[in-house]
């Protein structure tokens, strides 16, 4: 971890550049996979699953019995944790439901904003050694709260029973396909997998590239993904043991993770670095964490204000404010995915169970993207109703603008109505 | 216009397929323009403007004096119309501001959802014979209501004074650049044009392709664009003169526009077709309208319910419900950009002045995209605060899930805090 003493001329965008993998040929490979799935449907899915996952699939969809039986294969304590997390996520997202809006902009002119759930959404759950149960909950629970009709989960074989149990709680149809081929299948549909309205979920570089490619074809996605990160702002009141544990919880994600500590106290920085060393030795994933600490930095600043200035420029996915009276600084945070206030709010509570969504903008995208919220599963429709009085008051405005834009049929649609009103008056 | 008698086995997706231009080589051309703007900045912008617009630019930014003086060059009636439209748009979008949300998901666990305006947004206003004043208002006014710091407008030369006047009302910086090069400049920044956080606005096939390409690189855009359309549902109470005028107001947009009439009354269909013929002859843009009517259809159905079923499948950008007691059918509309209720609500009021946004999902995207709203100019940040009581109640849930996901440092970030609490108790 590099140690930096803040100065006004430091180019933090350069110093805190996110590590990024260059994968030559990825674009072409993914594009070829998408084309093949579009052309050959299920047949292509089976071929890719055989090639990449070394599994021969008979049927692509997981049968209902396996979903219903899944609870039996999940340890009681884990089952309970899944239920508590679900409940919290449900509560926070249910509170995000908003009233429809209705405004009279002029006499006789009423405008409304309505919300509709997306009909069918696609949720990607990555495979790998550990089952990402929390991803299923973070995407599936809000989709259910929003009122989506159908949830389609794609996840590569072998599927862990805990994933199946989470999928049974969100009442999803589960398909045993992973990678770019799963994204293509959900975007365009195959014989087994229905086409979805929007695609959510994290994944490796193939999945991410596939999401960006289908997005460029008009299929909405949650957010672009990149390496994930944590920035901790700490004052002299912070606890170095806690900070070190938080930094490591981000660093263990992958070698391309990045963590940043900004503190007004050199003592806190020094003690945190010592704590990092000692906690690191005990971690099962210490090689990964060690590697990502190399991309990381500790910055000594003069004020919390300056710390937040640097943080806003960096736009962290996760921002811990381990400072006195942390909540009074929130107004100054302009760019961040999620904020964790005070010493007893580790990032991991948000990753799993506080109720906020853990699907957040990484890689600086917090500058201009939002994390997943209830809104991500809905769309809006506007409505307007103009009565005779209304058309009389708004008519000339529409005619003047339409004629200036040389769209005379637009003006005419108003004129035929104003003419009718004149006739009625006679 | 084709006339179709509804039957259950009709494949409307096929029959009402949107016309689409195939532009071979577009992708490569646009990609080359984007690369050149990224590499050469302003120099590339000047070269492309010389090549495509046949204008030699000295400076790319329109000077403040020209903006301030613009009102003088706008006719009084048009100036007034611009102000009325602005006011209505402002009122409807201001009503969309939502309260921040705060929920206690467990004792000692508080979650919040906050909103922040995007800092700098890019608004593209197409050139051409007619000045698209309304586009400047529909994008600029909500951006101001949302609290965006800086509005960047790009529009090709020559710039009409009415556009400049609209830009002065929204207090935008205006740059005299159009096409794919303008989109690239706003996405990545040049010496003159600052990089923006999100790009909005309609345009030709080059602009649209450029927006999709920069979106695939992580720059957010408003919505993918396609040919635009209107669907009218009419019962026997509708006025064929009004319907014909509405259909033509959409048909005049471009030869790739599409209009659809669905009615429970054969008489209404027949009379509308007659009206279309007679109104068409009087239109300045009749060649365009005539051409787009060829892509269009009138469908006779047995019920309004069936009409809305077909409409939901089609997902029109604009939906006019010219039926008795129109508002009672709104709940059945699942897919539409904007709905126009009753006989005195022509589509053109929404295009210009009712207050709703005219930037809507076309081409069937109303199935899974929203039109522009206040929300389009904001992003969300979540916050969580857990106190000592909170970590005690949520801790085991986080530990169980983190350990199941084999992320032990995540579990450890909770454990160090629970250990501290135990120490404190001793």
| Domains identified in chain A and CATH numbers | 2-19+226-355 (3.40.50.1980), 26-225 (3.40.50.1980), 387-425 (1.20.5.1300)
Judged by CB atoms closer than 8 Å, whether chains meet at A284 and B408 is answered as yes
A226 interaction partners in chain B (CB closer than 8 Å): 218
pLDDT at B22 > cutoff 70:
no
pLDDT at B269 > cutoff 80:
yes
Nearest to A91 among B103, B334, B355 (CB): B103
Judged by CB atoms closer than 8 Å, whether chains meet at B411 and A348 is answered as yes
**Which of these is catalytic: A229, A252, A317, A347?**
A317
A78 interaction partners in chain B (CB closer than 8 Å): 400-401, 404
Instruction: State the nearest Cα–Cα gap between A49 and chain B, in angstroms.
Output: 23
Q: What is the mean pLDDT of chain A?
A: 95
Nearest to A349 among B330, B342, B386 (CB): B386
Q: How far apart are CA A410 and CA B296, in angstroms?
A: 18
Task: Tell me the three state secondary structure of residue A159.
Answer: coil
B198 interaction partners in chain A (CB closer than 8 Å): 368
pLDDT at B129 > cutoff 80:
no
Torsion-angle region of residue A108: left (phi > 0), alpha (psi -120 to 50) or beta?
left
Read off the tokens for B368.
């899974």
Question: How distant, in Å, are the alpha carbons of A190, A244, A264, B9, B140 from that of B312?
Answer: 22, 53, 57, 16, 30
pLDDT at A54 > cutoff 80:
yes
**Is B309 marked as binding a ligand?**
no
Nearest to B134 among A96, A111, A401 (CB): A401
Judged by CB atoms closer than 8 Å, whether chains meet at A382 and B371 is answered as yes
- Dmax over Cα atoms in chain B, in whole Å? 92
Closest C-alpha among B151, B104, B291, B135 to residue B207: B135
Q: Are A174 and A155 in contact (CB under 8 A)?
A: yes
B173-175 and B258-263 beta bridge pairing: unpaired
Q: What are phi and psi of A396, to 5 degrees?
A: -65, -35
B132 interaction partners in chain A (CB closer than 8 Å): 405
**Is A204 marked as binding a ligand?**
yes
Q: Are B365 and B223 in contact (CB under 8 A)?
A: yes
Q: HSE (CB half, 13 Å, CA atoms) of A94? A: 11
pLDDT at A22 > cutoff 70:
no
C-alpha B344, offset from chain centre:
24
Mean pLDDT of A386-390: 98
pLDDT at B318 > cutoff 70:
yes
Closest C-alpha among A152, A1, A319 to residue B385: A319
- Neighbouring residues of B50: CB distance < 8 A, sequence distance ≥ 6: B56, B57
Find, in chain A, the residue whose alpha carbon is nearest to that of B77.
A400
pLDDT at A126 > cutoff 70:
yes
Nearest to A370 among B350, B379, B409 (CB): B379
**Is B40 marked as binding a ligand?**
no
Q: Report the range of poorest mean pLDDT among A169-183, A237-251, B19-33.
A: B19-33
B245 interaction partners in chain A (CB closer than 8 Å): 409, 412-413, 415-416
Band of residue A21 on the pLDDT scale cut at 50, 70, 90: low
Instruction: State the nearest Cα–Cα gap between A34 and chain B, in angstroms.
Output: 15
**Which of these is catalytic: B318, B329, B347, B358?**
B318
Q: Which pLDDT score, from 0 to 100, does residue A228 have?
A: 84
| Angle between helix A76-94 and helix B388-404 axes, rounded to 10 deg | 120
Active site residue A75: no
Judged by CB atoms closer than 8 Å, whether chains meet at B386 and A106 is answered as no
Q: Which pLDDT score, from 0 to 100, does residue A122 have?
A: 98
B400 interaction partners in chain A (CB closer than 8 Å): 77-78, 80-81
B278 interaction partners in chain A (CB closer than 8 Å): none
Q: How far apart are CA A191 and CA A224, in angstroms?
A: 28
pLDDT at B15 > cutoff 70:
yes
Q: Which pLDDT score, from 0 to 100, does residue A255 have?
A: 87
**Is B329 marked as binding a ligand?**
no
User: Which residues on neighbouring strands pair with residue B320, listed in sequence order?
Assistant: B232, B340
Closest C-alpha among A278, A261, A253 to residue A320: A261
Nearest to B409 among A103, A248, A368 (CB): A248
Task: Tell me the three state secondary structure of residue A321.
Answer: strand
Q: Which pLDDT score, from 0 to 100, does residue B350 have?
A: 97
Judged by CB atoms closer than 8 Å, whether chains meet at A341 and B402 is answered as no
**Is B197 marked as binding a ligand?**
no
Closest C-alpha among A51, A85, A65, A112 to residue A355: A85
**Is A351 marked as binding a ligand?**
yes
Read off the tokens for A94.
């249910």
Planar angle of CA B279, B282, B286, nearest 5 degrees? 90
CA dihedral in degrees (A195, A196, A199, A204; nearest 10)?
-30
pLDDT per residue over B272-282, tens digit each? Answer: 999 999 999 99
Instruction: State the nearest Cα–Cα gap between B402 and chain A, in angstroms.
Output: 8
Task: Tell me the three state secondary structure of residue A128.
Answer: coil
A330 interaction partners in chain B (CB closer than 8 Å): 114, 383
A311 interaction partners in chain B (CB closer than 8 Å): none
**Helix or strand (DSSP H, E) at A258:** strand A258-263
Nearest to B369 among A82, A106, A379 (CB): A379
Mean pLDDT of B302-325: 97
**Is B93 marked as binding a ligand?**
no
- Neighbouring residues of A91: CB distance < 8 A, sequence distance ≥ 6: A355, B103, B105
Q: Which pLDDT score, from 0 to 100, does residue B425 have?
A: 86
Find, in chain A, the residue whose alpha carbon is nearest to that of B402.
A352
Q: Which pLDDT score, from 0 to 100, does residue A254 have?
A: 86
**Is A250 marked as binding a ligand?**
yes
pLDDT at A372 > cutoff 80:
yes
Question: How distant, in Å, are the alpha carbons of B295, B307, B318 from that of B260?
Answer: 9, 11, 10
Mean pLDDT of A235-257: 95
Judged by CB atoms closer than 8 Å, whether chains meet at B382 and A91 is answered as no
Dihedral (CA of A137, A142, A144, A148) sign: negative
pLDDT per residue over A60-81, tens digit each? Answer: 999 999 999 999 999 999 999 9
Find, in chain B, the residue whose alpha carbon is nearest to that of A375.
B375
A138 interaction partners in chain B (CB closer than 8 Å): none
pLDDT per residue over A336-365, tens digit each? Answer: 999 999 999 999 999 999 999 999 999 999
Q: How far apart are CA B152 and CA B161, in angstroms?
A: 17
Nearest to B404 among A162, A215, A218 (CB): A162
Q: B255 vs A40, which has greater pLDDT?
A: A40
Q: How far apart are CA A405 and CA A411, in angstroms?
A: 10
Planar angle of CA A384, B327, B250, nearest 5 degrees? 45
Instruction: State the nearest Cα–Cα gap between B425 and chain A, in angstroms.
Output: 16
Judged by CB atoms closer than 8 Å, whether chains meet at B349 and A386 is answered as yes
Q: Which pLDDT score, from 0 to 100, does residue B21 have?
A: 63
Planar angle of CA A404, B206, B85, nearest 5 degrees? 30
**Which of these is catalytic: B317, B329, B347, B358?**
B317
pLDDT at A257 > cutoff 70:
yes
Judged by CB atoms closer than 8 Å, whether chains meet at B242 and A394 is answered as no
Judged by CB atoms closer than 8 Å, whether chains meet at B131 and A404 is answered as yes
pLDDT at B426 > cutoff 90:
no
**Is B8 marked as binding a ligand?**
no
Judged by CB atoms closer than 8 Å, whether chains meet at B382 and A350 is answered as yes
For chain A, the distance separating the N- and C-terminal CA atoms, rounded to the nearest angstrom, is: 84
Q: Which pLDDT score, from 0 to 100, does residue B128 have?
A: 75
pLDDT at B20 > cutoff 80:
no
pLDDT per residue over B366-420, tens digit each? Answer: 999 999 999 999 999 999 999 999 999 999 999 999 999 999 999 999 999 999 9
Judged by CB atoms closer than 8 Å, whether chains meet at B330 and A390 is answered as no
Instruction: Give percent above pLDDT 70 in chain B.
Output: 99
Q: B102 vs B216, which has greater pLDDT?
A: B102
pLDDT at A24 > cutoff 80:
no
Judged by CB atoms closer than 8 Å, whether chains meet at A283 and B88 is answered as no
Q: How far apart are CA A334 and CA B157, in angstroms?
A: 35
The ipTM value here is: 0.95
Nearest to A344 among B388, B398, B410 (CB): B388
Read off the tokens for A201.
């979920």
Judged by CB atoms closer than 8 Å, whether chains meet at A405 and B130 is answered as yes
Q: Are B172 and B123 in contact (CB under 8 A)?
A: yes
Q: Are A139 and A359 in contact (CB under 8 A)?
A: yes
């Amino acid at each position: 971890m590099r140690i930096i003493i803040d100065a006004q001329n430091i180019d933090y965008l350069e110093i805190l550049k996110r590590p990024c993998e260059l994968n030559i040929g990825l674009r072409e490979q993914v594009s070829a996979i998408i084309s093949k799935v579009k052309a050959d449907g299920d047949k292509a899915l089976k071929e890719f699953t055989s090639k990449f996952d070394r599994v021969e699939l008979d049927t692509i969809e997981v049968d209902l019995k396996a979903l219903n039986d899944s609870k039996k294969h999940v340890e009681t304590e884990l089952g309970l944790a899944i239920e508590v997390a679900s409940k919290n996520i449900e509560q926070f997202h249910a509170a995000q439901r908003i009233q429809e809006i209705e405004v009279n902009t002029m006499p006789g002119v009423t405008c409304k904003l309505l919300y509709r759930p997306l009909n069918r959404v696609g949720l990607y759950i990555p495979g790998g050694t550990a089952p990402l149960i929390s991803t299923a909950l973070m995407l599936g629970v809000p989709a259910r709260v929003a009122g989506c009709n159908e949830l389609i989960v794609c996840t590569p074989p072998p599927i862990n029973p805990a994933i199946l149990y989470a999928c049974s709680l969100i009442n999803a149809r589960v398909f045993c396909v992973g990678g770019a081929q799963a994204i293509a299948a959900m975007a365009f549909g195959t014989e087994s997998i229905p086409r979805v309205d929007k695609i959510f979920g994290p994944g490796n570089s193939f999945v991410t590239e596939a999401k960006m490619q289908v997005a460029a074809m008009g299929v909405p996605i949650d957010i672009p993904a990149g390496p994930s990160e944590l920035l901790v702002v700490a004052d002299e009141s912070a606890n170095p043991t806690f900070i070190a544990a938080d930094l490591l919880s981000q660093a263990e994600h992958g070698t391309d993770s990045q963590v940043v500590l900004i503190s007004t106290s050199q003592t806190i920085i020094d003690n945190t670095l010592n704590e990092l060393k000692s906690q690191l030795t005990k971690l099962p994933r210490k090689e990964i964490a060690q590697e990502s600490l190399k991309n990381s930095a500790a910055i000594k600043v003069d004020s919390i204000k300056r710390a937040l200035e640097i943080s806003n420029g960096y736009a962290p996915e996760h921002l811990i404010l381990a400072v006195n009276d942390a909540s009074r600084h929130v107004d100054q945070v302009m760019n961040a995915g999620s904020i964790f206030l005070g010493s007893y709010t580790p990032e991991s509570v948000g990753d799993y169970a506080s109720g906020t969504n853990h699907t957040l903008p990484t890689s600086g995208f917090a500058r201009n993207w939002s994390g997943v919220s209830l809104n991500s599963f809905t769309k809006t429709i506007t409505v307007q109703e103009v009565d005779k009085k209304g058309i009389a008051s708004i008519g000339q405005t529409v005619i003047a603008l339409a004629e200036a834009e040389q769209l005379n049929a637009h003006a005419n649609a108003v004129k035929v109505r104003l003419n009718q009103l004149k006739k009625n008056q006679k």
